[in-house]
C-alpha cells in the first residue's frame, strides 16, 4: 500500500463522515427516517475518494513533465544505468510515447526479471507492464517473492526468449531443473 492509496482511503472515510454529518446535523435525519439517508453518505464517499486521489494525479503530472524535459539519450542512459531515481517502467513508457523503438531494452528487462534481488524483480516486472504491456499480458504474474529460476520459467512459458535469444545465452540457468530439484527437496 502506497501513500497515495492511504490518502484515497482517508478521503473516502472523511467523505463518508461528511455525508453522515450532513444527514444527522443539517437534514436532521437518522437511518430509520428515510432511505434518502444513504444518498449523502454515498455521495460524500465518492467525492472524498476522488479528492483523495488528487495528490497521486498531481505527482504523476509532475513526473511526466520532468521526463518530458529529458532527451532521448538521457532516458536511454537512465534505463541502462538505473539509479532508481526514476522507475524504469516510466522511462520506457516515455520513450515509447515519443515513438522510440524500445525493443532494444527488452533483453535488459528480461535479465532483471530473473535477478536474485527481489526488489529488482518487482521494479522490472512493473517496467515490463509499463513498457511492453502486450508482453506483460502474456506472462503469468511474477511475484517479487518468486526465485529467479521460477521467473525464468514463467518468461519461457510465455515465449519471450524466442524473440530475444541473447538472454538465454547470458543466463546459464536451467529453470526447469532447478524447479524440479526444489520440489524434490
158-161, long-range: CB within 8 Å, 24+ apart, which pairs? 160/106, 160/110, 160/135, 161/110
Q: Which of 88, 44, 49 is nearest to 57 (CA)?
A: 49
Q: Is the dihedral of CA 18, 23, 28, 29 positive or negative?
A: negative
pLDDT number for residue 166? 56
Alpha carbon distance 174, 155 (integer Å): 13
Question: Can you give the pLDDT at residue 167?
Answer: 55
Taking the C-alpha atoms of residue 149 and residue 24, their distance in angstroms, rounded to an integer, is: 58
Give the cell for residue 8: 484515497
Position 86 scores a pLDDT of: 86
Quote the cell numbers at residue 75. Answer: 532516458
- Those residues with Cβ within 8 angstroms of residue 30's Cβ, 6 or more apart along the chain or in another chain: 23, 24, 37
What's the CA dihedral at 166, 168, 169, 171 to 10 degrees? Answer: 120
Angle of the 38-52 helix axis to the 54-69 helix axis, nearest 10 = 20
HSE-CB at 86 with a 13 A cutoff on CA atoms is: 24
pLDDT reported for residue 34: 59
Query: Taking the CA of residue 15 as centre, how many other CA atoms within 13 Å lie in the half-sphere pointing to its CB?
Result: 22
pLDDT of residue 37: 72
What pLDDT is stored for residue 178 in this prediction?
36
pLDDT value of position 139: 85
Per-residue model confidence as pLDDT tens for the chain (185 residues)? 688 899 999 999 999 889 888 877 776 766 556 566 778 889 999 999 999 999 999 998 999 899 999 999 999 999 988 677 888 988 999 999 999 999 899 989 988 888 888 888 888 888 999 888 888 888 888 777 888 788 888 888 888 776 565 554 344 444 443 334 334 44
Instruction: Identify the pLDDT of residue 33.
Output: 60
Amino acid at each position: 500500500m502506497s501513500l497515495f492509496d492511504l490518502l484515497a482511503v482517508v478521503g473516502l472515510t472523511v467523505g463518508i463522515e461528511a455525508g453522515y454529518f450532513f444527514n444527522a446535523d443539517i437534514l436532521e435525519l437518522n437511518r430509520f427516517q428515510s432511505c434518502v439517508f444513504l444518498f449523502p453518505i454515498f455521495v460524500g464517499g465518492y467525492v472524498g475518494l476522488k479528492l483523495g486521489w488528487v495528490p497521486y494525479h498531481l505527482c504523476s503530472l509532475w513526473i511526466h513533465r520532468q521526463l518530458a524535459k529529458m532527451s532521448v539519450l538521457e532516458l536511454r542512459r537512465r534505463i541502462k544505468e538505473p539509479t532508481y531515481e526514476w522507475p524504469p517502467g516510466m522511462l520506457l513508457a516515455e520513450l515509447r510515447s515519443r515513438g522510440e523503438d524500445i525493443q532494444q531494452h527488452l533483453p535488459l528487462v528480461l535479465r532483471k526479471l530473473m535477478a536474485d534481488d527481489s526488489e529488482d524483480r518487482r521494479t522490472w516486472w512493473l517496467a515490463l507492464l509499463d513498457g511492453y504491456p502486450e508482453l506483460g499480458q502474456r506472462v503469468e504474474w511474477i511475484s517479487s517473492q518468486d526465485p529467479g529460476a521460477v521467473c525464468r520459467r514463467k518468461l519461457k512459458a510465455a515465449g519471450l526468449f524466442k524473440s530475444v535469444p541473447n538472454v538465454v545465452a547470458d543466463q546459464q540457468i536451467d529453470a526447469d531443473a532447478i524447479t524440479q530439484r526444489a520440489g524434490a527437496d
